[in-house]
Every structure is written in structure tokens, then in C-alpha cells.
Structure 1
Amino acid sequence: MLGRVLEEIEVNVLASQAWELYRTLQLAKFIGEELPNVIEKIDVIQGDGGVGTILNIIFPPGTPGFSSYKEKFTKVDDKKRVKETEVVEGGYLDFGFSLFRVRLEIIEKGEESCITGSTIEYEVKEDAAAATNANASSMVSIQPLVMIMEAASNYLMNLKNNKNKM
């Protein structure tokens, strides 16, 4: 069973400024500090933010589903402003998913605006879906990524506004 969900948000900053935040480990640090109700902690297991970087994502106690998983950066394309991660241990994989990929994308819209997009692509093993009698797509929610994009948008706008005041 294959699935895909996506969401986009317009941000009134240069695409290059948004990409500066999204492409690096600064995004992980930002999420850990600004959204503890979504993600309690992000530990860098290996890497410097490029392809091959592995993060351990830890969720707050009481979060439905699972407490953590490890994800690996599989693509960081500075030209297209696309970053992809895949769950490599725990989390969705423990529930019968064979693939759980998140794509973050920054699309230039105009001189002073861009679109931040998040896409989740997933695949569930047929035998796992049948065995649990569960609808795997009900486990997949774009909402945490929307919250991250909104918080990142506010952060970027504050940076822009503070820079303009100087």
C-alpha cells in the first residue's frame, strides 16, 4: 500500500534565506527549542547535516504511536532546494511500514517570497496492514510538519523584520 500527503505554506522571505534554515542541522536545533510539544529532542547520531546524517527523533511522553525513531538524510540538493529524509530504525518501521520518507522543499515564488513544502511518502507492507487490520494511512499525519513549517515561517519573518529595523 502506497501513500502520499503534502502541504505548502507561503513565506515572505527569499527562498535562499528559507533554504539556509531548512538545509542544515539548524532546523533540527530550532525544532527542539521551539516545538517541544511536537518533538522533545533531536540527537545527531552521525554527520554534519549532509547526505548520510542520522538523527534520533524523540517525541514527548504520551505521544500516540511511538516514542522515537532514527532518520537518515538521503538527499540534500542545494540547486533544487530539496532535502529528503527516511526513517531507518524504529517508529513507522516497527508498525509494518517499509518506507517513510519526508521531503522538504523550498520553491522560489517571487522576489521576496517562497513556498515551503513538506511531503510524506510511505509504503506499508501488505501483510502488516492485513495482520493489524489497521488503516496505516491513519497513522500518517502531515500536521507535525505543518507546525514546523509555520514555526519556521514565523522565525524567518522575525529575522527579516529585525534585520529591516537595523
Structure 2
Amino acid sequence: MHGLVAANTVVAASACSVWDVYGTLQVLTIINTFLPNVLGTVKVLEGDGHVGTLLNVTFPPGTPGVGYMKEMITKVDNKKRVKETETIEGGFVALGFSRYITQYKIIEKNSTSSIIISTIEYELDDKLANLTSVVNTELVETLAETVGKYLTEKTPPPY
């Protein structure tokens, strides 16, 4: 079984400034500073933010499942402003998903606003179809909103 969920989040910041966060490891600083109780904490295990960088996410206490996931950055396209990560251990893979990819694409709306298109693509055995109900865009939308707030106000919304 193959699936895809997506969310479009409009932020009051230029596509260039949004990409400066998403396209680099600065996004990890925002997660670790403002969203540790929502998204967890992220550490770089290997790499510098380019393709092949290995990340470890430790989920907040109380999160169901194994409590962590390892992701690899599989795509960084600075021209198209696209970044992809694939979960390679823990997280949804530990639940039985054979593939779990998150993509962020930054689109310029105008000179002072942009759209963060967040998609999650997944694959799992048809016998585990009931697990598709746990896949949603809530966390990637929270991240997008927080990045937008950070860029416009230098402070995130309270979570």
C-alpha cells in the first residue's frame, strides 16, 4: 500500500529566508529550541546538512512507539528549494512502514510571503493498512508555522 498526505502552509516570510532555514541545519536549531516538547530533539549523527546527513530524533516523553527515529537527508535542491528526508530506523519504520519520506518544498508567493508544501509519502504492507490512520501532517504544519513565526517575529508561537 502506498499513500501520500500533504499540507500547504502560507508564511509571511520570503521563500529565500524560509529556504535559508529548511535548506540548512538551522531548522534543527528551531526544533530543538522551540519545539522539543512537540517534535522532540534532533542531533546530527553524521554529515553537514547535505545529502547523506544522518539525523537522530528523540521523541518527547509520552510519545507512543520506540521513542526515536533515524532519518537520512536524501535530497537537497537549492534551486528548486526542495529537501527530503527518509526514516531509516525507528519511528514509522518500527511500526511496520517499509518507506516513510518527508519532503519540504518552498514556493515563493510574493516578495514577502511563501508557501511551505510539506508532504509525507509512505509505503506499507496491505495487512497493516489500519496504520495509515496515524499518518498526518500535524507535526510538519507545526514546524512550518513555527519557522514562519520565527522569521517574522523572531519568536515562535507558544506550544
Paired AA for residue 139 in structure 2: P
1:136 maps to which residue? Answer: 131
Deviations 1:117-148 (A, max 9, x none): 11000001234x1xxxx611112121011111
Distance 1:65 1:138 in 2: 15
Let me know the Cα RMSD of the aligned residues. Answer: 1.2
The equivalent of 1:34 in structure 2 is 34
**Would you say 1:4 and 2:4 are equivalent positions?**
yes
What residue in structure 2 maps to residue 123 of structure 1? 123
How many aligned residue pairs are there? 154
Determine the C-alpha separation between the residues in 2 that align with 1:126 and 1:75. 28
Classify the secondary structure of the residue corresponding to 1:135.
Answer: helix
Flag structure 2 segments of 5+ consecutive residues without an equivalent: 155-159
CA distance in 1, matches of 2:38, 2:116: 19
Tell whether 2:113 aligns with 1:113.
Answer: yes
Q: Which amino acid in structure 2 is aligned with residue 153 of structure 1?
A: G
Give me the TM-score of the superposition, normalised by structure 1: 0.88
User: How far does the alpha carbon of each residue in 1:1-53 deviate from its partner, in whole angstroms, 9 at most, with x for none?
Assistant: 11111111111221111100111111011101101111231111000000000
What is the CA distance between 1:66 and its match in structure 2? 3.2
1:67 — aligned with what? 67
Q: 2:144 aligns with which of 146, 149, 153?
A: 149
SS at match of 2:133: helix
Shift of 1:61: 1.1
Amino acid across the alignment from 2:67 = S
> Structure 1: which 4+ aligned runs deviate by more than 3 Å?
none
Percent identity at matched positions? 45
SS in 2 for 1:106: strand
Alpha-carbon distance between aligned partners in 2 of 1:66 and 1:142, rounded to the nearest angstrom = 20
CA distance in 1, matches of 2:93, 2:63: 17
Q: Tell me the CA shift for residue 64 of structure 1.
A: 2.1
Partner SS state of residue 65, structure 1? coil
Match in the other structure for 1:96: 96
Rounded to whole Å, the distance in 1 between the matches of 2:35 and 2:149 is 12
Larger radius of gyration: 1
Specify the alignment match of 1:163 in structure 2. Answer: none
Query: Unaligned 5+ residue runs, structure 1?
Result: 160-166
- Amino acid in structure 2 at the alignment position of 1:151: T
Q: Which deviations, in whole Å up to 9, do the C-alpha atoms of 1:41-86 show, x marking residues without a partner? A: 1111000000000100110111123310100000000000000000
Higher percent of residues as helix: 1
Mapped partners of 2:136, 2:66: distance in 1: 13
SS in 1 for 2:55: strand
